[in-house]
Structure 1
Amino acid sequence: EKLTAIVTVSDDGGSSGKLIDEFGMLPPGDIRNCLAALSNDEDMLTQLFQYRFSGSPELEGHSFGNLFITALADITGSFEDAVVESGRVLSVNGRVLPSTLHNVKLVASMELPHSLNEVRVVGESKIPEMAGRVRRVWLEPDDAPAFPPVIKELLNADVIVVGPGSLYTSILPNLLVHDLLAGIHASRAIKIYVCNIATQAGETDTFTCFDHVRALVGHVGEDLFDIILCNDNYEGDVGFASRWVLADEKTISDSRAYCADLIDDDHPWRHDAVKLAQVIVDIFYERTGPLS
């Protein structure tokens, strides 16, 4: 089926942050990850795109994928054309679109340990490092328009899937682009939120599925999603710094909740792609019949 990945452009850490400073371009890191995930040879391409150079002051810390997209942006003359051409060159299954073409910063208001006042934290990469509790996030500027093809894709979609991903630094930055959010509301697609399987240190420590949904509602309002998809298999070890995101009673009592075994048996802290895709297709069939 036709897939479109809509990707946030608020990443400012690591290689992406260096390229923003050196070339004034949008951050390619999350775009790179999506291109690798949608490629026909995902394992090999992922290794190539995620390869980081070392031993050279100029290349230290840069990933091959980020430099690839940067080079294409220089050749084609624009970031959006570079993303399109990257998809063509790599024969990806679907499209990858930036949510906006404007440079935006993700800003958070956080409660920090041993501090009475909330602290303003600027930069996506800095938020998880603060070891505090996120109260609210927003974009600066807050009026960046969505990339027009994004709105077209949303309005023509059969299913819109939000997640899984970092709640405050990957999911919400997309939804905080106002006309992108309006496009989701206007779309007749089934809208599914996929809750994370494990908590994320520095962002969602101790969060249940209900806490994830409550944070979304606090930022973008009620009734955005038709389905809240949660994992209900808690067998395995999700690591020292994480806990299971539980489908608690408040979640299960929500008529939109849909619980299923979604874990990757070998890596239980993340979703099994086949299980997740099958559940999404099943939900669509239950609601409307076969995909068009």
Structure 2
Amino acid sequence: MNILTYAAIDIGSNAIRLLINTIYETQETVTFNKTSLVRVPIRLGQDVFTEKKISKKTMNRLNEAMTAYSLLMKVYNVDKYRAFATSAMREASNSKDVIDYIKEKSGIKIDIISGEEEAKVIFSTDLKNFLYSDNYYLFVDVGGGSTEISLLNKGKVHYSQSFPIGSVRLLDKKIDESYLTNIVKPWVTKITKGKSVDVVGSGGNINFIFKNSGKKEGKFLSSTYIHHQYELYKSLTYEERIEKFNMKPDRADVIVPALLIYSSVMKFAHSTRIHVPKIGLADGMINLMYKMKNNNGI
């Protein structure tokens, strides 16, 4: 047996995640085991979507997180890692300065990936179980700054689009809800017309909803349930959400706009079901790194 340890750092608009996986290789099988997952609520999007750049204070917090992650990866004897940033870092006017600073101080090199690359990374996960189905699935990944939507069927991504609307951007009113109706709806309606579509949801907020639903892994949630959860959380104050549902503070404010996006997309696609597999960008990045390693690409 050969044992490898890979790590991925997902620098999102709402939080920064470090995932460490132990990979067990035998002649017959390859098994990925989640060894450690650490999440730090550094909301880059709040700076970028308001001031168009990352503040010095936030940059220092990001560096502290990256330094801690660097030490954790050293303790776990990580063989390979990749740190990647999405929507907020893409739009920050000082992203190069931030990346250079983090590299100098923590030693961690950060790559900025596009919305299209985000989709490619996610497709390296267990999403293939849906990707290769004869059914049509609308993959919806809601982040803090952007939402990636793709139509999957028979081993192909038929359509894919990254929209600059996310939970943090909606929360901070940097984009209006009308964007969903005016921009997202026509696109979703066009690609799903005449098709029976199930939605596959990805993102921390939909994972929270699924976990709290009490449903077993592999089951789906109904569109009615998602809309009901949206109305429920919307009716509560920020403090009530934390108290009643044991939410983290940085989840309690963004969960309402996130559910609005999921619920709206399901409505646009006339979809009544949403599947919530345990997939994420960090999982996909580790899978992609492993595939590239076997193809001598890393």
Task: With a CA cutoff of 8 Å and minimum separation of 6, indicate the structure with the bigger relative contact order.
Answer: 2
TM-score bucket of the superposed structures, by smaller chain: 0.3 to 0.5
Higher strand share: 2
What TM-score do you get using the length of structure 2 for normalisation?
0.32
Higher helix share: 2
